[in-house]
């Protein structure tokens, strides 16, 4: 089954300031703020929701279709796609735009200052679900606002089941828009904080929203995840990771596990168990795409923790 992954492709430039921001920002002078931080440690990561989800699906042995927009500076990422064997068929490259990118400065207390440039991501609505006629399952993850709206609408119109994953895009939508984007969705996936925002915007509890879709999935970090499905609440425990290094991209790894399971006709609880495994493997590595487990290692982790086969 072809899985269509709609979302962003981005570069993450991560810098580490080896001190505390609060020692260099004077509250009484915030109205004339002018500071510079020396960042001797810097790294550039491949990221974006579609890139991360596609990468994790590839680790599981899938051949996903990534649908996204990229800019004139995309060549290094394109070379990575080629090395991974990921299709570029539905990646639209715009010559007058930069690829989306985040510039993140972190201090020794793990506080962050981030600047995000959406670039080509803002034009994601140029991509059409109909351009991928082989898709049988999909996900709409954070991307350009209009693109997310149209991709949800077009998945629903084509009767292709999809997971709605609003993530960091939540502030862009009203409650009415969120409810509309859930029409025709197979599931809603959020973390616990995002879940509270969805409840606030829609005026409905996540439990009641589960009556609209097959499953509402809420991830809660080390506390595991909760699934509302079939009128029941099911709690999936977190898998103990080898190390806790970097949560960046854990949610995307989790969603790849869900998609892999659903593509094989698994029920939501088993798909959630594989998702938990994928999140635990990712968190032991920096960046969203630097974990490289063999498929058999993933299968072994699923077997040891949940007694299930891949």
pLDDT, residue 33, reads: 86
Residue 6 is inside which H or E element, if any? strand 2-6
Question: Token pair for residue 40?
Answer: 């001797």
CA-CA distance, 8 to 120, in Å (whole number)? 9
CA-CA distance, 292 to 136, in Å (whole number)? 27
- Predicted confidence pLDDT, tens digits, the chain (310 residues): 699 999 999 999 989 999 999 998 888 888 888 889 999 989 999 999 999 999 999 999 999 999 999 999 999 999 999 999 999 999 999 999 999 999 999 888 878 888 999 999 999 999 999 999 999 999 999 999 999 999 999 999 999 999 999 999 999 999 999 999 999 999 999 999 999 999 999 999 999 999 999 999 999 999 999 999 999 999 999 999 999 988 889 999 999 999 999 999 999 999 999 999 999 999 999 999 999 999 999 999 999 999 999 9
End-to-end CA distance of the chain: 16
Rounded (5°) CA angle 84-87-92: 120
Q: Could you state, in order of their start, the residue ranges of all structural domains in the chain? A: 2-10+49-100+120-306
- 2-10+49-100+120-306: CATH topology: 3.40.1190
Question: Token pair for residue 265?
Answer: 């006709």
Q: Facing residues of 100 across strands? A: 10
73-130 tens-digit pLDDT: 999 999 999 999 999 999 999 999 999 999 999 888 878 888 999 999 999 999 999 9
Question: Token pair for residue 103?
Answer: 């510039």
Parallel/antiparallel/unpaired status of strands 2-6 and 41-47: unpaired
């Amino acid at each position: 089954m072809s899985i269509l992954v709609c979302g962003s492709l981005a570069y993450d430039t991560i810098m580490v300031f080896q001190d505390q921001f609060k020692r260099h920002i004077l509250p009484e002078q915030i109205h004339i703020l002018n500071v510079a931080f020396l960042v001797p440690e810097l790294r550039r990561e491949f990221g974006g929701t579609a890139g991360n989800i596609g990468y994790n699906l590839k680790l599981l042995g899938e051949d996903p279709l990534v649908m996204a927009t990229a800019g004139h500076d995309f060549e290094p990422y394109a070379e990575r796609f080629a090395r991974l064997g990921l299709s570029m068929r539905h990646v639209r490259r715009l010559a007058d735009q930069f690829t989306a990118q985040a510039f993140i400065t972190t201090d020794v207390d793990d506080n962050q200052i981030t600047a995000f440039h959406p670039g080509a991501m803002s034009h994601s609505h140029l991509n059409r679900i109909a351009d991928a006629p082989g898709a049988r399952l999909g996900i709409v993850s954070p991307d350009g606002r209009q693109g997310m709206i149209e991709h949800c609408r077009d998945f629903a119109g084509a009767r292709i089941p999809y997971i709605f994953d609003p993530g960091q895009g939540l502030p862009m939508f009203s409650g009415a828009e969120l409810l509309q984007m859930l029409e025709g969705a197979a599931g809603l996936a959020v973390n616990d904080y995002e879940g509270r925002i969805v409840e606030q915007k829609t005026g409905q509890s996540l439990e009641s929203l589960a009556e609209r879709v097959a499953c509402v999935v809420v991830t809660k970090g080390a506390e595991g995840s909760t699934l509302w499905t079939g009128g029941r609440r099911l709690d999936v425990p977190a898998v103990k990771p080898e190390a806790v290094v970097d949560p960046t991209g854990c949610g995307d790894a989790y969603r790849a596990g869900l998609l892999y399971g659903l593509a094989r006709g698994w029920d939501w609880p088993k798909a959630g168990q594989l998702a938990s495994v994928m999140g635990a493997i990712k968190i032991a590595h920096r960046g969203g795409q630097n974990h490289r487990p063999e498929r058999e290692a993933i299968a072994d982790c699923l077997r040891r923790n949940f007694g299930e086969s891949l």
